[in-house]
Amino acid sequence: MKTDKPREIALKILNGQGKRPLCHENDPEALFQLYGLNERDRAFVNKIVQGVLRWRLRLDWIIRQFSAFSLKKIDEDILNILRMAVYQIFFMDRVPESAAVNEAVNLAVSIKSPRHVISFVNGILRTVCRSRDEIRFPDREIDRAQYLSVFYSYPGWLADKWIMEMGGDSTEALFSAQNRFPDINIRVNTLRISRDALIESLTREGINAGPLAWSPQGIVLEGFRGRVDSLTAFKNGLFQVQDQAAQIASHLLSVEPGDMVLDICAGFGGKSSHMVELMGGKGQVVSLDNNKERLIKSASNAERLGMKNILPIEADASMPLSSLFKCKFKRVIIDAPCSGLGVISRHPDIKWNRRDEDIPRLAAMQKRFLNAAVSVVEKGGELLYVVCTVSREENEGVVRDFLERNSDMSLVNLRKRAPEWCQDLIDDQGCYRTYPHIHNMDGFFAALFSKGE
């Protein structure tokens, strides 16, 4: 039986979630190329995959109401077929219910499912269609945590955690905001073009581009679902893909032309390249990471942007850095590995890959990175700590521990240092903090430390 290729690919990707390393059987880009998918089909696949990942718990709740079997007894590929169909039925208005059901049955046939399993898929989905207005969710008044967990599709531990830390209303607003498909944010390469000129260039390519609300170098590509790397402006090195919250964080270090900056845990080099731009191309950024592949990609990206003053170094940032560098740095930034709970809107799989016990483990790692970095900060120099999470243990908890262990370091009140245009993003402790449901950007935290003379 002929199957719908985009749905078949979506199923392969969902079946491969959590399996590393990726191979051609579950790597999205490899599958797109193998099947020769056009941009429209790619967008359809991405929407289904991202949608199922965002709403998995809610989809399972619905399936469970019509299944005579525990979900644990349903094979993973069949469960993902059901999830895909239920997602289309409830969240994709342009897909007729009959098409969602029929294609799910076709997929079940294509993977050589037994006849009773095919009937099971068909029966559940047709019942869902008939009874969609009768779905019942946990009572919001009796158990708000369970309601928020199921209705917004978040693990129960996270609902409990956020309700305790920020209250029920804020948790609900945060969950809702992080379930939205985010627009792509980019940062203009100011060494080559102005923001206004880039917006004009993108508009000529048929992109709905406009300035971001906060970042002076930021542009939003509204509704864009194509491949960014296919745009002429990208190929010409005119911009870098980067969320607004990350763009703003780089401004907090107040780099100047001629500075030598150390970027610890540099990853793919987004902040490294931004530092070069903020220095007007006059200065040096040492980009340190323990992953060689990331550094290679960072170097390639720097070449695309036309930046030659980024020096990649492969090293473990948790070890004493004074043994690696003979010099000290006036400016140091640590974009530390974290839970990523502030970027769930862009990476919904984080919801299911994180556990409550991960938080203290990651906080301990962040503390090691910060403590190791102190030795390479010169007297009077500054150290910026950045994480893309809204977890207290990884934010103010890490700051408090760091200050207790390093008497020569003090917290800088960013209200006295941050640019005027981002003052509303500075909290009462003088730290940078953003929330998806309040600021319409990723959840970030940053604290700036100064080393005594």
- DSSP result, 215-257: -TTEEEETT--S-GGGSHHHHTT-EEE--HHHHHHHHTT---T
Question: 221 lies in which domain range?
Answer: 184-241
Mark whether 394 and 267 lie in a shared domain: yes
What's the pLDDT at 225? 84
C-alpha 381/C-alpha 409 separation (Å) is 10
What's the pLDDT at 43? 87
Q: Are 199 and 176 in contact (CB under 8 A)?
A: no
The CATH number of the domain where 400 resides is what?
3.40.50.150
Instruction: Provide mean pLDDT across the span 438-453.
Output: 95
Mark whether 283 and 398 lie in a shared domain: yes
Maximum CA extent, the chain: 77
Mark whether 263 and 410 lie in a shared domain: yes
Q: Are 12 and 25 in contact (CB under 8 A)?
A: yes
Per-residue pLDDT at 281 exceeds 90: yes
Burial of 310 (0-12, 13-18, 19+ CB in 10 A): buried
Mark whether 284 and 432 lie in a shared domain: yes
Mark whether 315 and 441 lie in a shared domain: yes
What's the pLDDT at 249? 97
Instruction: Provide mean pLDDT across the span 275-300.
Output: 95
Instruction: Provide mean pLDDT across the span 418-432.
Output: 96
Mark whether 201 and 273 lie in a shared domain: no
What's the pLDDT at 318? 86
Cα four-point dihedral sign 221, 224, 225, 227: negative
- Name the active-site residue from 265, 338, 388, 431: 388
Mark whether 93 and 204 lie in a shared domain: no
- Is residue 9, in this structure, part of any structural domain at all? yes
What tens digit of pLDDT does each residue of 314-328 get? Answer: 999 888 888 889 889
C-alpha 382/C-alpha 88 separation (Å) is 50
What tens digit of pLDDT does each residue of 165-182 get? Answer: 999 999 999 999 999 999
350: helix, strand or coil: helix
Mark whether 438 and 343 lie in a shared domain: yes
- Is residue 235, in this structure, part of any structural domain at all? yes
265: Cβ contacts below 8 Å, ≥ 6 apart: 288, 289, 317, 334, 335, 336, 337, 369
Q: β-pairing, 377-387 with 329-335?
A: parallel
C-alpha 360/C-alpha 430 separation (Å) is 24
What tens digit of pLDDT does each residue of 187-239 get? Answer: 999 999 999 999 999 999 899 999 999 999 999 999 998 889 989 999 999 99
pLDDT grade, residue 27 (50/70/90)? low
What's the pLDDT at 239? 97
Per-residue pLDDT at 19 exceeds 60: no
Q: What is the pTM of this model?
A: 0.92
68: helix, strand or coil: coil
In the chain, % of residues over pLDDT 70: 95
Return the HEC string of 334-348: EECCCCCCCCCCCCC
What's the pLDDT at 320? 82
Per-residue pLDDT at 20 exceeds 60: no
Task: Clarify whether 388 is annotated catalytic.
Answer: yes
Peptide bond into 21 cis (omega under 30): yes
Q: How far is the CA of 358 from the CAs of 337, 342, 368, 402, in angstroms?
A: 12, 15, 16, 20
- Is residue 101, in this structure, part of any structural domain at all? yes
C-alpha 183/C-alpha 346 separation (Å) is 9
Cα four-point dihedral sign 258, 264, 268, 271: negative
Tokens 């379930």: give the residue. Answer: 179
What tens digit of pLDDT does each residue of 313-368 get? Answer: 999 988 888 888 988 999 999 999 999 999 999 999 999 999 999 999 999 999 99
What's the pLDDT at 16? 84
The CATH number of the domain where 87 resides is what?
1.10.940.10
pLDDT grade, residue 38 (50/70/90)? confident
Mark whether 213 and 69 lie in a shared domain: no
